[in-house]
Structure 1
Amino acid sequence: MTIALEKPVKPRQGRDLVSPELFDRLVEFCADEYGLERCVAERVQSEAIAMCYVMGATEAGDEMAPSKQVDAGWHTFMLHTEEYAKWCKESFGYFLHHRPNSKIRTKALMTDVVGRIKAQGFEADERLWGTAAECNPPACCADGPCC
């Protein structure tokens, strides 16, 4: 017997893990600090929150790394220290530290990170990870307007 869902389940987004007010403040800061259009900052911030959640919930913080674009969102979240610390504690019980190592950003690692994010039920914007199949810089690789 096969059971079909009446409605497809929509993948989660990182933005769903924080209040709309906090998300808005993070996006405003990210856009201003990194010179991004708001629509791009929204995507960056949502991806960063999803990645942090997956890293913390699966205890894979030492095995995963953000893309250069997504790293801006993680920095933004961490700079809001009270909110970030509280979110980490509530989400997975400990503070998720950022151990930067930009030398390990390979396409293979970014593909693995995207796979881990998707495996946890999140939608992943592959354009921000450099793993999109048809990336046509700058129009769709996160540095064009409203990619």
Structure 2
Amino acid sequence: MTGVLRLDSRRARTLISEELFDLLTTRLAQDRNIDLDLATRIMDQTLAFLAAAGHPGERLSPSPAVDAGWHLFLRWTKDYAAFCERVAGRFIHHVPDDTPAETSNAATARGVLRTLEAIEAAGYLVDHELWALDGKCGSCHEDGNCSSSGEDGNENTETRKR
């Protein structure tokens, strides 16, 4: 997959410094009241998702767990922007989906399947347990209803996940 930086062909955690990875996982564990092992898995999958989402033309959807990691990383704006520039050559926008849940469940499932294929094509491991959908969709990370901006960066129209 061109346009996606791969420093390690299996674990995406190597896409950022150990210090930043440790900071993010520790904060995620605290904020979400989860153990550090789960936070580590979530952040690794978040980075794999973002690396795959950086490929031009891809509109990918995170799972609820991965979206929580993405929301956290976005809070470190300088680090996030530098990461995006390095792995994608552009900023990867976060796109909440305001579509009513009852009409977006199938789209969410398709988006997640497309995402898993893109992560694997980029050479990263997929932690399938973190990508399981429970049939719920909602306004954003609480229910996993977000997507990446895709190639054009127009998060308000053409790039809604489908």
Which range, TM-score by smaller chain? Answer: 0.7 to 0.9
Per the TM alignment, residue 92 of structure 1 is displaced from its structure 2 partner at its CA by 1.8
Q: Distance in 2 between matches of 1:27 and 1:45?
A: 6
Per-residue deviation, 1:89: 1.2
- What amino acid does structure 2 have at the position aligned with 1:125? D
| Residue in structure 2 matched with residue 130 of structure 1 by the alignment | 132
Question: Per-residue deviation at 1:95?
Answer: 0.8
Question: How many equivalent residue pairs?
Answer: 120
Q: Out of 41, 44, 47, which is 2:45 matched to?
A: 47
CA RMSD of aligned residues (A): 1.8
Shift of 1:11: 4.3
How far does residue 86 in structure 1 lie from its aligned partner after superposition? 0.9
Per the normalisation by structure 2, the TM-score is 0.68
Distance across 1 between alignment mates of 2:76 and 2:67 = 15
Q: Which has the higher contact order (CA 8 A, sep 6+)?
A: 2
TM-score, structure 1 as length reference: 0.74
State yes or no: 1:13 paired with 2:11.
yes
Q: Distance in 1 between matches of 2:109 and 2:61?
A: 11
> Is 2:67 the counterpart of 1:71?
yes
Which residue type is aligned with residue 17 of structure 2? S
CA contact (8 A) 1:107 1:130 kept: no
Match of 1:141 in 2: none
Shift of 1:111: 2.2
Identity, % of aligned pairs? Answer: 32
Assess if the C-alpha contact under 8 Å between 1:65 and 1:113 holds in 2.
yes
Q: Which runs of 5 or more residues in structure 1 are unaligned?
A: 1-9, 132-147
- Secondary structure of 1:99's match? strand
Return 5+ residue gaps in structure 2 as ranges: 1-7, 134-162
Equivalent residue number for residue 23 of structure 1 = 21
Structure 1 runs, 4 residues or longer, greater than 3 Å off:
102-108
Separation of aligned partners in 2, 1:92 and 1:110: 20
